[in-house]
Amino acid sequence: MEILMKRLLLAAVLAGALVARAAAAIMLIPNGAVQVRAGAGAWASATGPMEMTAGQEVRTEAGAAAEVKFPDGSRVLLSPLSQFKMESTDHKETILGLSLGKLRAAFSGFMSSRVSIRTPTAVCAVRGTVFELGADAKSTQVNMAEGVLEIQDQKGQRAVVTSEETVTIGEQGMETPHQVALTDSRALDAVRPMVVNRESARDATRRMLEDMRNRELKANEAQLGKDAIDAFGRRVRIEEYLLRPDNKSFELLFLSHRQDRFDWGHMVEIFNSKIPDDMSQVPAIIAGTFLSQTQPSHWLKSMEFYATNTVDAEREQISLGNPTRIDFSGYLNHVPGTDFRYYPISIDDVQTLYGPGVPGGARVQFDQHQDFGQTSGGLFTWTQSIVNNLGTLALLDQLQMDPSSVVDVDPANHGGAPTDTAACNLGGDNCMFNSGNAEFAGLATVSSSPSGPGKADYLVSTTYSDGSTLAVEKFLVSNDGKIYNSAATADTFTQNGSYNLEINIKSNLFQGRDIDVLIAPEILQQKKTETTTADSLQP
């Protein structure tokens, strides 16, 4: 119970790039009559693949096409009779230009939030997107396939265009974005996005981007962007978005861009009633959900943590019942009937793995349930099910105790072997342990806490009976890559953003890949009227 409470409180605090340029070059691959020039120089034929640099311009003749490939896999496809320019490619932002014709673009990896495309009538800021763009001297036409595109016209008007929407920007300004009808001739382009990520990542990435729909700078949202070094010495571009779907919940989206990978995730928390706009007050609300001496007016109803490398993913979902008055005298070593506290009447904690190497593509590895008086009247029941030797979820153990009885809850009374039911029943409680059964043979869990420089703040590594493994390692790391070298407190996570939380998730079901996200908690210090825009997202 204490471990779960600590995990919940830590999650509450967390919820309450300058990326090194890849060694590979930007390449132009011509198909047909394609010409290139630098600056105002003469046009010359591109007879084969060639490296592109800032200032170069490309044009395609009738019947010809060209592809511009970026080091991270992003690409731009130029249609016939198009004119395109690589305006700049510095370490902060890549600026492209389309003065005539049409292109189809798919941006991913570290390019996904570092690109702007200029046309004669608009500027389009890419936010991880697949889209089609057409332009001439008088108008720009955008057809979205997937993702988010922020657009600004010549009059300074802004709009956010998302999946399967279209918008036209003319000399008089920008029309209102609208959905592409299935009868529209542009529909096929809008509903058949280019595959630039693995197919297994498409749905998850789409959901993340759809969550950012219409995220102009509103008073109830915050954005943050900064450059940092992770615990392994790699440069990371951290981007975060704090969303408020309603006044009872919030969602923290966190994106970690590195030179050769993109990891992201979200944390969603839902409460029973309205929570403050000042998110720094949220940890105190969650703390009051557990063991409060007075009945709380606000409490946490559910929390979800999701992290992915766009191929594999791990999700933890925690649901909590309403706080109820319970005699915790035994737990607190007091005389029964002398210490009543409020505690959720039930807690469900489910951990699921996803990925092409996970049996069935998705599997629950761990399921823990706590309740008071629901499974057995007057008793606190704790049940845990995990994957067994057949790879299916099975009951590992169940413990029932009277929280008002010191004899019942004293760990000394349960110090025998897990299968020793006589020792378990000393206090009159009821226990069932299956950990000695053959179906759980080989089960082992190792955990550690910080003990000095270079240590993880928290590490839990489990080998399950079917041979699958899961390790979650958390670091507190400064912006310059220094790992926090002593035990962390709740305040450590929010003191002026001095430390980021890095979460590294490994499993042998991930086929050699890991998930590695960084969360910068200082975004939670931003109040409703203090919206900050990520520095790399400036137009």
pLDDT at 441: 83
pLDDT at 422 over 50: no
Residue 231 located in a structural domain: no
Q: What is the pLDDT of residues 307-349, one digit of tens each?
A: 998 889 999 999 999 999 999 888 777 888 888 999 999 999 9
pLDDT at 200: 37
Residue 56 located in a structural domain: yes
Q: Are 346 and 430 within one domain?
A: yes
Residue with more model confidence, 107 or 311 = 311
What is the arithmetic mean of pLDDT over 95-99? 93
Residue 325 located in a structural domain: yes
Q: How many domains does the chain have?
A: 2
Residue 11 located in a structural domain: no
Which amino acid, one-letter code, is at 234?
R
With a pLDDT cut of 70, the percent of the chain lying above it is 71
Q: What is the dihedral of CA 192, 195, 196, 202, to 10 degrees?
A: 90
Which amino acid, one-letter code, is at 428?
G
Separation of alpha carbons 223 and 253, rounded Å: 10
Separation of alpha carbons 345 and 337, rounded Å: 18
pLDDT at 361 over 70: yes
What is the arithmetic mean of pLDDT over 247-272? 89
pLDDT at 418: 37
Tokens read off for 229: 């070094």
pLDDT at 212: 47
Q: Which of 177, 195, 213 is the last residue of a domain?
A: 195
User: Residue 108's domain is classified under what CATH number?
Assistant: 2.60.120.1440
- Residues whose CB falls within 8 Å of the CB of residue 57, separated by 6 or more in sequence, listed in order: 36, 37, 38, 83, 84, 85, 86
Residue 242 located in a structural domain: no
Tokens read off for 52: 């592109």
Separation of alpha carbons 57 and 28, rounded Å: 11
Q: How confident is the model at residue 403 (pLDDT cuts 50, 70, 90)?
A: confident
Residue 249 located in a structural domain: no
pLDDT at 1 over 70: no
Other C-beta atoms closer than 10 Å to the C-beta of 79 total 16
Q: Are 280 and 149 within one domain?
A: no
pLDDT at 470: 94
Other C-beta atoms closer than 10 Å to the C-beta of 44 total 10
pLDDT at 427 over 50: no
Q: Which residue has the tokens 């959900």?
A: 289
Residue 202 located in a structural domain: no
Q: Which of 149-158, 387-396, 428-437, 440-449 has the lowest mean pLDDT?
A: 428-437
pLDDT at 498: 65
Q: Which of 137, 165, 195 is the last residue of a domain?
A: 195
What is the arithmetic mean of pLDDT over 408-434? 49
Burial 366-400 (b: 16+ CB within 10 A, else e): bbbbbbbeebeeebbbbbbbbbbbebebbbbbbbb
Residue with more model confidence, 223 or 33 = 33
Residue 255 located in a structural domain: no
Burial 488-514 (b: 16+ CB within 10 A, else e): beeebbbeebebbbbbbbbbebbeebe
pLDDT at 85 over 90: yes
Q: Which of 141, 174, 195 is the last residue of a domain?
A: 195
pLDDT at 184: 52
Closest CA to 85 of 123, 126, 131, 38: 38
Separation of alpha carbons 159 and 470, rounded Å: 42
Q: Which of 247-251, 308-312, 452-456, 490-494 has the lowest mean pLDDT?
A: 490-494
**Domain extent for 164:** 26-70+74-195
Residue with more model confidence, 271 or 72 = 271
The CA-atom distances, in angstroms, between 142 and each of 44, 152, 180 are 30, 12, 11
Average pLDDT, the chain: 76
The H or E element that residue 210 is part of is helix 202-211
Q: Are 308 and 183 within one domain?
A: no
pLDDT at 160: 73
- For strands 158-162 and 444-448, give the pairing: unpaired
Q: Which of 228-237, 276-285, 451-460 has the lowest mean pLDDT?
A: 451-460
Q: Are 310 and 189 within one domain?
A: no
Q: How confident is the model at residue 251 (pLDDT cuts 50, 70, 90)?
A: confident
Cβ 391 vs Cβ 359: under 8 Å: yes
What is the arithmetic mean of pLDDT over 288-298? 89
Separation of alpha carbons 75 and 89, rounded Å: 14
Residue with more model confidence, 25 or 1 = 25
Tokens read off for 488: 């962390």
Q: Are 133 and 44 within one domain?
A: yes
pLDDT at 452 over 60: no
pLDDT at 45 over 90: yes
Q: Are 277 and 128 within one domain?
A: no
